[in-house]
Structure 1
């Protein structure tokens, strides 16, 4: 440790900032602000003199240089601590009286409000002071003292120094005596300078350890819920927690048996729960050390605490004991290398802007925050949670009586209280299970108790209901035609027809089909464009007793050929000669040839017979045909009437293609209720302005959109004119975010919005949730089970999972499909016996969900690699199979990245393919939604330990993106030219374009600071947090406003080379 700093009493002198201070400065400037305010409060009883308290506070500030520090930069862009003289950093105590705030209800509430308002205000790190205090009088002999300090100059240990020293200085000022405090051999700035000077073999050993320990690691993938307007509020919330005494005894016993510490046992349980909660078998959790390895530092205030990322690797067969032993070794190694600053550890991890310390688990023995003032007693005064830089933190403290208590601190923007409470319950169960039977497999420790299991099975999963009276789908349509024969049934580009006309036309076609031998369990292909005749043909096939196979004529011919080869329909109905792609499909018949009597044919089908067979993506590269019986779709449409009733005069918009399973709801729901199907034309379908006019013109009262479609539609000003017409909107196929729901209720306040979910294998949808404009959740829930449907959330071992814990959704009940056509093996794999005693089947959706409060589900994505893109279910295996058929592609993997793009990673045999030719190849074989938006070439695809493609690793792999030939876009305005020159200089490269991403071409947080400084020198007041949004010169120039800086010059050429 060097000699103490020697700045004069009247001088400001500078020293390098510590590595930790540099990181916190960046975070503060990036918008975290109050998230790094450390606050505490005491209730004082006795006589308090605020003037003496302020004098005492100044004594403490004079004693600790770090409390009179501000921050600045040297000409090279390095962050410095500016140490002000002992009297050069004025601090004061703001004084208030709670009795002046009667509106708060009581004095404690008033005091909390005042203290929070004062201490929560952001600090200015470049001006100071970075310490503030507030005294609030509750009564003549009762006060609340609040102290706040920025984390950049303080840590938890330091608060245990600050308060006792403030008390000692108060006594000294009051009694006119010197404070009874030990001398300080060094100051924080001396330690920071020493830290910067550390080199040599010991430091090299630390670097090597962390480099190896963190190789290939990624932080825990906690909820990625976007903050409103892209700005996280850093709001904090807390839940208290305590480890029961009996369980704590078991923890200590197991720790002793395994020569571990109780902390390691507690962390093992936490890691086991996180692994199951987020389906990660390789994760990082942060913990902290005091960072005061030298005795001279014990009495110093400052930011010493160091974060250690603890890597946890689990496999499906790992026991709790094995996990504990692994963690013991990992923790001991981490402690042996704890002197390397966390910022240097992050560099070894290659983490960039991703901080594994956002999820923390700590067991600390902090010094008592003591207040020893004769005649002035103290006790803690609880403050409401303020702000936090953490996503989730578990903080435990062992008290003097041996109990273990603490709190879970979490970012309220990212978690809700019920979710954190559920996680803590699961942690307790994992801890109890692991200590009771250390050899139990972590993945099999039950996380639902007996009471929770009973409620999940008997209440939450769905009540047993009697099915509707047995009827087939066409019988419901016939009943509607009998009740409302003159109501309009279908509207399209060809005009409109009434229910009477629909019946007559469909009857004629049905009779003709009957004459050709069509009947129950027969399959009839329907390959028609979206039109009135299409609806008539579908009804006719059902009336004939057969099941229809929807064939979208817009599908690639090769894909249609696969459908026809698999289904082998006896007849395919077309318009005119039909598309060439179905010409060889057995018997192809034009609708014009289907002529028979107009009378209604007798019903031959039963509810258990097939209504339709629809094809979805298949993991083998071949689509699979889902066989849906009448009973399933009848339950769906009739239960749908209960949540979104339609009747005569209503119109439901039909925008989907015949090959989409939700198209069934679009045409069936209105026809069973006396409403009309309104088939939108192709031009209106893809033009929001025209679509809005179409809705108004045809008096459409209900519609179904994917959230992406709804978002685009709501951006069209003319949509507001639909407010008096549209009554119901339904969404499905994608995540319905708060951004979309808020825009919906602003634009169409009188229109209900429902979020629906369901796979093709369960007759379109099985849940529905009415969106609420007051709901603050980022993702709209998908709802609970429809009547007749049962839903279970199970883990990989088919064990029930409690509220909050993500797992796979299993569906049971009347809406299940029969299975997959011609695939008994796949049917047995996906449709499994119901283990909960109802003698039925369950469909394994492969979708990851969790129960929320109120018995509704939140959709979290796919358990496997199957994804939904813009509402289309895509099987990456199918896309990969097609990519693998392209000449020169040895292997391919397809994933969805964080921006919901479908991205393909390719390992090539020789030269990479030309982008244009590859896209043309895919367009001929795949639907548009299944064509990746980006293609990256790797030397080889990364593999996991079991030999499978490691899809998580793909998202961080550095591949070469296939791009059209082009050069970086040159700057066009004075501001763009100035910023381009700065970027070139800071990044050390000449090929900088105005649409290049800063972080993708070599930028990092420290270089962003330099860009910030250099821009400021040119008179460009660039807010540093702008670098956290869209990281391009074009975006930054737009924020600055080119018109305001038109006179900016540029000393050199900036054309890209």
Structure 2
């Protein structure tokens, strides 16, 4: 429920002007009753009386009921005094809204729209995801019999608590059991409050059976020896008797309002001896099933059309997904929930009240602005959608009912133009009020009408929820002190849910998050930034939102840092020539093995000196020197010579006959073409072996040597890398006194041959691109001597590179490198920890904390979690990143790219499939300009089809990332530098991307085709066609499972249909279930029926 906490601040006395007209008196009476104030004047301001947005909704509902006038909630905000609102009510005609009445006796037992949505989602989420829980501590002698009588009276009083939801003819229906249905209060006894709470937790974590019921449980636990008889203690202690009252109910029959209502009615009944009339409980003229029937009839026609039109316009162009820093891929809602907590001080809470009164907003609106702004920073969006629960009890007849009325509104927070916080409040206020005015459209109807993209990992339209609830109520009834207790973190449908509540004059925050998806450290930081933004806004709401809240990232204080204390940074300059000079005294050390033979460090040092002298004697234009790349020691000597000569250089591919100026270079050096240079090494012979000198101790100049302890025993290779990475490998190898091995072989000529060469050279340190390391593993190659794989990995998915490196050698450690530009040296490095696993891998690539910075466009350092453009040595890179809470920089994509449309995520999901060894997903454009996303797969049997893989993707990915075509190839072609060569992949006709029609091959498949055809009204269905792509939806899938049960005597769940939505997939599930029913006999034989006709 979206409302603000009541401060109970009585400082604002009633206005001096009493109500002057019948309408003013009527409105004032409604305010007095709802706000609990004895005196309300004509000029009193609603929000100056510490009213909440929920109470504003109640006022509108009460006005509708008592005065017959229908006004929108926003009128209470725009006309906040009694006089102004009364004038507005007087000017309005009677409401055209139909009143909620009892359903006809012969009405079908239907579900409300929200119940239907929740029933369907309950089939897909963990069984306790929709358990609603409440608990109270009772201090004092409790008459257990009277308490049980009170609970029984409530169960008899409210139809919702006696409802259950069986499936009849494939459709869930609402059945209400009679009031005399058996029900009892569960009781237990423990010796401590902690033990009592554990029992309550166990009750809250126990699933309900929606079809059988009951969907309500109540537990009373006696603590510290209370005998439960109402007569005090059992003699073991003189302490006051203590109990824990725990209530758990399925959300389909109750909401949070209902829990509070249940507790209030129970206490009133207990005090009245179980008599509803003596307890003063209002007569219930309608029940929840009446509301369900009324809603189906009322939420239709012109009114619904108008509300849907509003939401269609409000959400047009809204981002479908928040690109938040997830820690694990493919996590689904409802996983393990953890919490982060924070609190404003009493003074800050009071200042927030002043702020909201000044701007005419509620606490909820202030927090919505703060949360939306923080989520915008973290997702790289200037436009964020947040879910907002609303009571859904617009009709006053629902206020005293237990039931599931709450609706959820997707409210858009517009951050464009970097508004001040005050301006953002105005935007949020208007968006919230407009949402309230269109709150009758049920969320599931809204999703269907807007055709929100399907994503099995998260809710449609929004992924973060904000809820502000009133302060807990402690009271004393019949000598029993009643105190609310903290609730456990149960599984939730939402990945992020922020709840705010005032306790003791302080506004507290509770952020519940899916721990299977998000790191706790990052979520604690997210909450801290929301609270920091609120605090800054209280100081100066006129400041731009971008200037409020958020602490700089751990390493974000410098955009040109050159190192870090933990050695995780890269060096500012290469100095391998210095190491070569030092190692030249050790004549037995082999420096380079290449196409021109094997050469030692002494030879290399002398050759580098000759190159430096050669360059010094040449007259050349100032500027960058180009060095043509060759797999030779002469090439390495030329690189070292340039370093000795102090020249800036870049490595290029050989370009015979091409002028240097054409390449933007001052001169181009080619050891096979450049006059004078090509003959420079001819008379340079290896010297006679000299006596081995003592190993010298020197400062390690190379970042990789310092970080990973490379030694003279290592053998380095960089056979398929960018020029910059090649020079990095050269620098590390020579700085360690190790051997650099070079070859003319490239991945373009065949991965198997290159792999054999790497094994024959006993390579221990490999510099490579991600596609090559995966291709080597996909080809079943093994490199037993490999210790390190340094992967040029920005923009790709690290987890599968780690997995590939482990396949090549179990002892191999994977290191992710980040470079800037084609020939840039690594500026950041992430050494993958030893306990890293694919299952717990981050979605994006951690870059480490090297010579990089992350400034916000405003000039301030980016906060932890905030997306900004990465800078290296002060230069813009065109890449986006964010600081993690552990001080590691994480790559999030290219600047200007949509963070929710990353095709690499689809490729990563494909690599998770057991039979897929490697995958590439790319977009292809046809001759007529029509585009299609195509996935190329290595590993699957090309004759087996790809329907199973497609089913997996449908169950794991948002629909916009599911490839239109899956193509099996023998290998992914690579370029000479180890990247994918997309031009060599087979083309796919966008017009023929759908799977070839395959007719039913067995009687079972034919029966399934007939059932689907009848449900979908489709003439021809192939065994690989997808139920949902043919027009199926969740409720229709329920009818499908019902037909399957009738035909095959097999129970399939709704989740089964989502995960195996084809005729072939469902047939396999049915055969598997039948096999298990018969003791698992000949499962393979049964499944063979499906493929026998292929």
TM-score (norm 2): 0.70
Superposition deviation, residue 683 in structure 1:
8.2
Instruction: Assess, with a 3 A threshold, how the Cα gap between structure 1 residues 895 and 636 changes in structure 2: closer, same or farther.
Output: farther
**Per-residue CA shift, 1:177-217, capped at 9, x if unaligned?**
98764432221111111111113433332233223322333
2:135 equivalent in structure 1: 41
Kept in 2: contact 1:486–1:500 (CA 8 A): no
Report the secondary structure of 2:123's partner residue.
helix
Tell me which residue corresponds to 1:664: 727
**Offset at residue 140 of structure 1 (A):** 0.7
Cα distance between partner residues in 1 of 2:649 and 2:991: 42
Rounded Cα–Cα distance in structure 2 between residues aligned with 1:67 and 1:87: 12
Give 1:289 deviation, angstroms: 1.6
Distance 1:686 1:977 in 2: 48
In 2: Cα distance, 1:971 partner to 1:484 partner: 75
SS in 1 for 2:846: coil
CA distance in 2, matches of 1:992, 1:562: 63
Deviation at 1:174, TM superposition (A): 8.5
Q: Do structure 1's residue 674 and structure 2's residue 674 form an aligned pair?
A: no
Matched residue of 1:457: which SS? coil
Distance 1:680 1:118 in 2: 67
Report the Cα offset of residue 428 of structure 1: 3.5
Tell me which residue corresponds to 1:363: 468
SS of structure 2 residue aligned to 1:152: coil
Structure 2 spans left out of the alignment, 5+ residues: 1-99, 227-241, 688-697, 906-922, 937-952, 968-973, 1073-1081
The equivalent residue for 1:598 is 684
1:3 aligns to what?
Answer: 102
How far, CA to CA, are the matches of 2:297 and 2:740 in structure 1? 76
TM-score normalised by L of structure 1: 0.72
Please give the residue correspondences for 1:475-494 in structure 2 after superposition, counting only pairs within 5 Å. Answer: 475-476=577-578, 478-479=580-581, 481-491=583-593
Number of the residue aligned with 1:65: 159
Change (3 A) 1:468 1:182: closer
Q: Say if 2:756 is the partner of 1:651.
A: no
CA distance in 2, matches of 1:160, 1:125: 23
**Cα deviation 1:819-857 (Å, max 9, x = unaligned):** xxxxxxxxxxxxxxxxxxxxxxx1223333233334322
Of residues 747, 766, 782 in structure 1, which corresponds to 2:828? 766
Q: CA deviation at 1:902?
A: 12
Secondary structure of the corresponding residue to residue 30 of structure 1: coil
User: In the aligned structure 1, how far is the partner of 2:1031 from the partner of 2:632?
Assistant: 54
Using a 3 Å threshold, how does the CA distance of structure 1 residues 887 and 770 change in structure 2: closer, same or farther? closer
Assess, with a 3 A threshold, how the Cα gap between structure 1 residues 309 and 378 changes in structure 2: closer, same or farther: same
Match of 1:622 in 2: none
In the other structure, the counterpart of 1:846 is 878
Q: Identify the residue that residue 827 of structure 1 maps to in structure 2.
A: none
Alignment match, 1:21:
115
Q: Residues of 2 paired with 1:128 and 1:965: CA distance?
A: 44
Distance 1:566 1:129 in 2: 78
Which of the pair has the greater relative contact order for Cα pairs under 8 Å at 6+ separation? 2
SS of equivalent to 1:766: strand
Contact 2:1009 2:1021 survives alignment (8 Å):
yes
| 1:345 Cα offset (Å) | 2.3
Deviations 1:508-546 (A, max 9, x none): 877877787679856244154x67776566556657776
Q: How many residue pairs align between the two structures?
A: 903
**Does 2:187 align with 1:155?**
no
- Pairwise CA RMSD: 5.3
Among candidates 545, 557, 567, match of residue 664 of structure 2 = 567
**2:343 aligns with one of 218, 239, 242:** 242
Q: Is 1:386 aligned with 2:490?
A: yes
Deviation larger for 1013-1022 or 634-643: 634-643
Q: Which among 262, 268, 272 is matched to residue 373 of structure 2?
A: 272
The residue aligned with 1:808 is 869
Distance 1:72-1:770 versus aligned 2 partners, 3 A rule: same
- Residues 699-708 or 203-212, more deviating: 699-708
Residues 349-375 of structure 1, C-alpha deviations (whole Å, 9 max, x = no match): 331435234312233348x66676534
Change (3 A) 1:133 1:864: same
Q: Which residue is 1:829 aligned to?
A: none
The more displaced of 310-319 and 889-898 is: 889-898
Secondary structure (helix, strand or coil) at the match of 1:797 reads: coil
Structure 2 counterpart of 1:641, from 696, 705, 709: 705
> Are the structure 2 counterparts of residues 310 and 57 from structure 1 closer, same or farther at C-alpha, using a change threshold of 3 Å?
same
Alignment match, 2:52: none
CA displacement at 1:290 relative to structure 2: 0.9
Question: Given that residues 793 and 800 in structure 1 are in contact (C-alpha distance below 8 angstroms), is that contact kept between their aligned partners in structure 2?
Answer: yes
Give the corresponding residue for 2:1041.
1012
Cα distance change of structure 1 residues 892 and 28 upon mapping to structure 2, 3 Å threshold: closer
Which secondary structure does the structure 1 equivalent of 2:174 belong to? strand
| Cα distance, 1:154 vs structure 2 | 1.2
Q: Is the 8 A contact 2:167 2:211 kept in 1?
A: no
SS in 2 for 1:266: helix
Give the conservation status (yes or no) of the 8 Å contact 1:135–1:144. yes
Q: CA deviation at 1:635?
A: 12
Pick one of 877, 892, 912 that aligns with 1:860.
892
Change (3 A) 1:66 1:933: farther
Q: Report if aligned partners of 1:37, 1:150 keep a CA contact under 8 Å in 2.
A: yes
After superposition, the C-alpha distances for 1:387-417 in whole angstroms (9 at most, x for unaligned) are 2111222222356x76533422222233333
Contact persistence 1:637–1:669 (CA under 8 A): no
Q: Retained in 2: the 8 A contact 1:235–1:387?
A: yes
What pairs with 1:61-140 in structure 2 (closer than 5 Å)? 61-75=155-169, 77-88=170-181, 90=183, 93=186, 95=188, 97=190, 99=191, 107-140=192-225
- Residue 409 of structure 1 aligns to a residue whose secondary structure is strand
Q: 1:895 to 1:745 in 2, by over 3 A?
A: closer
Alignment of 1:469-508 (within 5 A): 473=575, 475-476=577-578, 478-479=580-581, 481-491=583-593, 497-499=599-601
Contact 2:534 2:549 in 1 (8 A): no
Q: What is the CA–CA distance in structure 1 between the aligned matches of 2:576 and 2:813, rounded to whole Å?
A: 29
| TM alignment of 1:954-1033, pairs within 5 A | 961=990, 963=992, 967-970=996-999, 978-990=1007-1019, 992-996=1021-1025, 998-1019=1027-1048, 1021-1029=1051-1059
Query: In the alignment, does 2:432 pair up with 1:331?
Result: yes
Q: Is the 8 A contact 1:704 1:730 kept in 2?
A: yes
Distance in 1 (alpha carbons) for counterparts of 2:788 and 2:165: 57
- Retained in 2: the 8 A contact 1:57–1:166? yes
Residue among 445, 470, 474 paired with 2:547: 445
CA contact (8 A) 1:903 1:933 kept: no
Partner of 2:529: 426
Q: Deviations over 1:132-163 (max 9, x none)?
A: 23444431133333222111111110110222
Distance 1:694 1:46, change over 3 A: farther
In 2, are the aligned partners of 1:68 and 1:84 still within 8 Å (CA)? yes
1:632-669 C-alpha deviation (Å, 9 max, x unpaired): xx999712211111112212343423x35323333331
What secondary structure is seen at the aligned counterpart in 1 of 2:324? coil
Is the 8 Å Cα contact of residues 974 and 1049 (structure 1) preserved in structure 2? no
Contact 1:163/1:369 (8 A) holds in 2: no
Which runs of 5 or more structure 1 residues have no equivalent in the other structure?
Answer: 8-12, 100-106, 576-586, 602-633, 813-841, 872-881, 906-914, 916-921, 937-959
* Cα contact 2:720–2:746 (8 A) shared by 1: no
Which residue is 1:204 aligned to? 305
Deviation of the 1:29 alpha carbon: 0.9
Q: CA deviation at 1:47?
A: 4.2
Q: Secondary structure at the match of 1:16?
A: coil
- 1:766-785 → structure 2 map (5 Å cutoff): 766-773=828-835, 778-779=842-843, 782=846, 784-785=848-849
CA contact (8 A) 1:68 1:129 kept: yes
**Aligned pair 1:188/2:279, yes or no?**
no
Q: Name 1:307's counterpart in structure 2.
A: 408
Q: Distance in 2 between matches of 1:695 and 1:1025?
A: 47
Contact 1:526-1:538 within 8 A present in 2 as well: no
Q: Equivalent residue for 2:76?
A: none
